[in-house]
Amino acid sequence: MRILHTSDWHIGRFLNNYSLLQDQKYFLDWLFFVLKEQKVDLLIVAGDIYNTASPSSLAVSLLDEFFSRVVLDLKIKLLIIAGNHDSPEKLGFSSKILQRSGFYIATDLKNIKTIPFEEKNFSIGVTLFPYITPAMVKEEFKEEKISNFDETINFVYERYIKENVKYDFNILCAHGLFLPSSGEDLKFCDSEVEVGGIEAFNLNLFSEFSYIALGHLHKSQKVGKNARYSGSPIKYSVSEANDIKGVFLVDISKEKGVSIEKVNFKPLRDLRVITGNFREILKEKSSDYVAVKLTDEDFIIDPYNRLKENYPNLLEIEFLNLKLEFKQNFKGLKEIEPNKLFEEFYSYVVERKMKEEEIKFLDDIIKNIEI
Ligand SMILES: [Mn+2]
């Protein structure tokens, strides 16, 4: 049995003001190719399928098309759960009909479930555990005393999961912050929101699971001995510039147990940090998403628009070594008289001081404006 584990697609997401739909479509086309070439039996998407609870019609049709091709054309079993960004109602729509064609969805507490699969000489159970908060449990079970994440996971485990841990191989698909019992650190990045230390589940309860396919953290990483965050397939913040994105292929067999391999994804447009001198950087061109760090000591006029001509997907500019006098000048801008300020600007751009008559001309204009 070959499983492909991915998560945090955030279809419909923007990076600054740039729509990433084209980049996301490119990822889905690549994924389709991998699913086909690698003869995958089961695709697991561990939450945050969409970026918002009300995705655009373009985002919905992109996914609809992809899911249909996977389930109907490739005949691959598709298992998805809701993440904290997804709307349980929207994602769960017509899930009963879909289940008949091999498309399993778990969106909230009521539909936590374990799907059994029979292989030639062994059985597998995949438990779908969507993003759950203490408040969601309290709303459904008013008389239960549940106030934190520890009590939530214990309750959910006892009520929905425990009796289903009975297969030769038990797989869990979950979304949220799961801490390893070994105490190693998790790696975070800027594109995740509302990730707090207290809102975490402990993985202790799931030690007998053969593989845990997690979603929520956007950096791909190993958690404890049997769990992995696949990470987002696309870099959603500059803090991920050096990440290598991809998906996990998980092979399960009676003889060899579980073996895991990461398949790296090369994006349509990469997200990079470029550090260097303005004029040097301007010699190159790229359609990648770039954050530019300038090493120039002197201020540069209109760097954003000038760079954008060569880097249409420019994200941000930072001056690393700007001379102190420039910084101070900016702080005190309001105190400097407008004509002095213009004189400085003029001499910077034209590279000579203003002439007597020009200064007089300027003074007249400024006087007129002030009146
Ligand atoms: Mn996410």
Structure confidence by residue, pLDDT tens digits, 214-237: 999 999 999 988 999 999 999 999
Distance 175 CA to ligand 1 centre (A): 9
- pLDDT at position 8: 96
**Predicted local confidence at residue 332, as pLDDT:** 64
pLDDT attached to residue 326: 58
194 CA distance to ligand 1 middle (Å): 10
Reply yes or no on whether the pLDDT at 42 is more than 80.
Answer: yes
330 pLDDT band, cuts 50/70/90, is: low
Contacts of 213 (CB under 8 A, 6+ apart): 3, 5, 7, 44, 46, 171, 172, 173, 174, 228, 230, 248, 250
* Residue 131 identity (one-letter amino acid): Y
Residue 190 or residue 211, greater confidence: 211
Of residues 186 and 38, more confidence is placed in 38
Across residues 271-286, what is the average pLDDT?
96
According to the model, what pLDDT value does residue 307 have?
Answer: 95
Whether the per-residue pLDDT at 197 is higher than 70: the answer is: no
Tens of pLDDT along 68-96? 999 999 999 999 998 888 887 777 677 77
- Ligand 1 mean position, distance from CA 217 (Å): 6
Q: Ligand 1 being an ion, which residues bring their Cβ within 5 A of it?
A: 8, 48
Mean pLDDT within 103-126: 93
Give the pairing type, strands 113-118 and 123-129: antiparallel
> What pLDDT is attached to residue 4?
98
Distance 246 CA to ligand 1 centre (A): 15
> From the CA of 87, how far away is ligand 1's center (Å)?
13
Q: Tell me the pLDDT band of 328, cut-offs 50, 70 and 90.
A: low
Tell me which residue of 2, 8, 1 sits closest to 219, measured CA to CA: 8
Query: What is the C-alpha separation between 150 and 163, in angstroms, rounded?
Result: 19
Calculate how far, in angstroms, residue 160's C-alpha sits from the geometric centre of ligand 1: 24
